[in-house]
Amino acid sequence: MRQPTVVISGTGLYQPPHIITNAELVEAFNAYADLQNAHHATAIAAGERAPMTHSSVEFIEKASGIKQRYVIEKDGVLDPTRMYPRFRQRPDGELSVMAEIAVDAARKALAAAGKTPADVDAVYCASANMQRAYPAMAVEIQQALGAGGYGFDMNVACSSATFAIEQAVNAVRAGSANCVLVVNPEITSAHLEWRDRDCHFIFGDVCTAVVIENADTATATEQWEIVGTKLATQFSNNIRNNFGFMNRAEDSDPLARDKTFMQEGRKVFKEVVPMAAAHIEAHLATFKYQPADVRRFWLHQANLGMNQFIIKKLVGADLSGTVGADLAPLILDEYANTASAGSIIAFHAHKADLKAGDLGVICSFGAGYSVGSVIVKKLTLP
């Protein structure tokens, strides 16, 4: 039996209503640090406790390339007596926040693909964190959309979206689904430690959605053939969050530092850059392509310098120049790191100008460690 051609026929983006600039973020953090230092003044004076140090806009922009981030709720994050978002607990009968943003992105992706929810026969909710243990977010999203088939959740941190795309491709190739909706709701603001200056600037909220279907039924005016997918993982504790259902049984503090995002940023940078570059090169080689054959790389959006190194390793280009920006567009200056959604936002926002036959690579990398690449080719449509 002929293996079906599988295409990406639509993408969608939910963008939260609030922006936090670096200046606003630093102002709130520094006010929090001052409050903490005043509160612990005696212990600090006695040398029993180190004072908290201020954050700075210059450091953030130089170290990461991030200039602002979108969040669903802003006031709680910027309140120096709180420093995390404030969400109303919704009753069980009301659509959950995570499902709400996923439905918004999904509707946009379906509209771009020219599909209705009735055409969807699988929903994969792939994200770095789920709002609850069960029922699966994907099933709630499936019901809210009015889609058929089945849904399930999956988490591979920042690589959740690319890993889900491979599952969707496999389902369509195997014939168990014809049209799969992958959604990546990332409410990172609720599990970021805004009180830690080493990481308080890193993340933003967003949701992306991708429609993956059999080319035989695709009707979108723009379609991307999925040439191949390649996934890899290698265990590391350098990005970790210990929040989970064992906390209560272990009598550990649910508000302790290790129950939110933690990382050894420098180690991650050094270890993941070569891993991602080698992964992309090896993946391209299986199809007899060279990195120079690729018209555009939509890379994971964690750090500007990281993407510059990856592009330099692959094609020797300098991302800060015009060619580099066109070759591997950046969205992290505006969105910050949005976990699994980053490379998909880059693809969503920077694909329309490519020509039929152009080759591209979507690549994510992050906690796990995990790396996922998706080689795509813009189709020539009649």
Using CB under 6 A as the binding criterion, the count of chain residues that bind ligand CO8 stands at 30
Establish whether 158 is a catalytic residue. Answer: yes
Shortest distance in whole angstroms from residue 143 CB to ligand CO8: 27
Question: Quick one: 53 or 290, whose CB is closer to ligand CO8?
Answer: 53
Question: Quick one: 71 or 158, whose CB is closer to ligand CO8?
Answer: 158
| Distance in angstroms (rounded) separating the CA atoms of residues 164 and 182 | 7
Shortest distance in whole angstroms from residue 65 CB to ligand CO8: 9
Q: Which one of the spans 148-156, 192-200, 283-291, 316-324 is the region binding ligand CO8 (CB under 6 A)?
A: 192-200
- The catalytic residue among 158, 179, 207, 363 is 158
Q: Which one of the spans 3-11, 78-86, 264-272, 348-356 is the region binding ligand CO8 (CB under 6 A)?
A: 264-272
Considering only residues 104 to 163 of the shown chain, the ones binding ligand CO8 according to CB under 6 A are 128, 157-158
| Residue 370 bridge partners (DSSP) | 233, 366
- Told to check if 25 binds ligand CO8 by CB under 6 A, we report no
Of 26, 99, 34, the closest CA to residue 66 belongs to 26
- Mutual angle of helices 57-64 and 304-315, in 10-degree steps: 20
Q: Which two tokens stand for residue 297?
A: 């790389």
Of 275, 285, 277, 283, the closest CA to residue 234 belongs to 275
- Told to check if 266 binds ligand CO8 by CB under 6 A, we report yes
Of 243, 247, 265, the closest CA to residue 337 belongs to 265
| Distance in angstroms (rounded) separating the CA atoms of residues 338 and 260 | 15
- Told to check if 13 binds ligand CO8 by CB under 6 A, we report no
- Told to check if 364 binds ligand CO8 by CB under 6 A, we report no
Considering only residues 31 to 60 of the shown chain, the ones binding ligand CO8 according to CB under 6 A are 55-56, 59-60
Shortest distance in whole angstroms from residue 70 CB to ligand CO8: 14
Q: Which one of the spans 7-15, 42-50, 69-77, 197-205 is the region binding ligand CO8 (CB under 6 A)?
A: 197-205
Q: Which two tokens stand for residue 340?
A: 């699994």
- Told to check if 259 binds ligand CO8 by CB under 6 A, we report no
Q: Which two tokens stand for residue 149?
A: 């088939």
CA atoms within 13 A on the CB side of 291: 20
Cis preceding linkage at 135, omega within 30: yes
| Distance in angstroms (rounded) separating the CA atoms of residues 334 and 299 | 15
Question: Quick one: 87 or 269, whose CB is closer to ligand CO8?
Answer: 269
- Told to check if 63 binds ligand CO8 by CB under 6 A, we report yes
- What is the DSSP code (8-state) at residue 158? B
Question: Quick one: 142 or 159, whose CB is closer to ligand CO8?
Answer: 159
Residue 348 CB burial class (10 angstroms; 0-12, 13-18, ≥19)? buried
Q: Which amino acid, residue 28? A: A
Considering only residues 270 to 329 of the shown chain, the ones binding ligand CO8 according to CB under 6 A are 302-303, 306
Of 154, 239, 194, the closest CA to residue 71 belongs to 194
Q: Which one of the spans 80-88, 113-121, 173-181, 261-269 is the region binding ligand CO8 (CB under 6 A)?
A: 261-269
- Told to check if 337 binds ligand CO8 by CB under 6 A, we report yes
Question: Which helix (H) or strand (E) covers residue 262, if one does?
Answer: strand 262-263
| Contact yes or no for 190/135 (Cβ under 8 A) | no
Residue at shortest CB range from ligand CO8:
366
- Told to check if 30 binds ligand CO8 by CB under 6 A, we report no
Shortest distance in whole angstroms from residue 99 CB to ligand CO8: 19
CA atoms within 13 A on the CB side of 9: 29
Question: Which position among 167, 263, 301, 373 is part of the footprint of ligand CO8 (CB under 6 A)?
Answer: 263
Provide the 3-class DSSP secondary structure of residue 159: coil
Question: Which position among 74, 108, 115, 197 is part of the footprint of ligand CO8 (CB under 6 A)?
Answer: 197
Q: Which one of the spans 177-185, 225-233, 244-252, 263-271 is the region binding ligand CO8 (CB under 6 A)?
A: 263-271
CA of 159: how far to CAs of 112, 169, 293, 300, in Å?
24, 16, 24, 8
Q: Determine the Cα angle at 295 with ends 292 and 297, to 5°.
A: 90
The residues assigned a catalytic role are 158
**Residues that bind ligand CO8 in the complex, under the rule CB under 6 A:** 55-56, 59-60, 63-64, 128, 157-158, 188, 191-192, 197-198, 201, 203, 239, 261, 263, 265-266, 268-269, 302-303, 306, 337, 339, 366-367
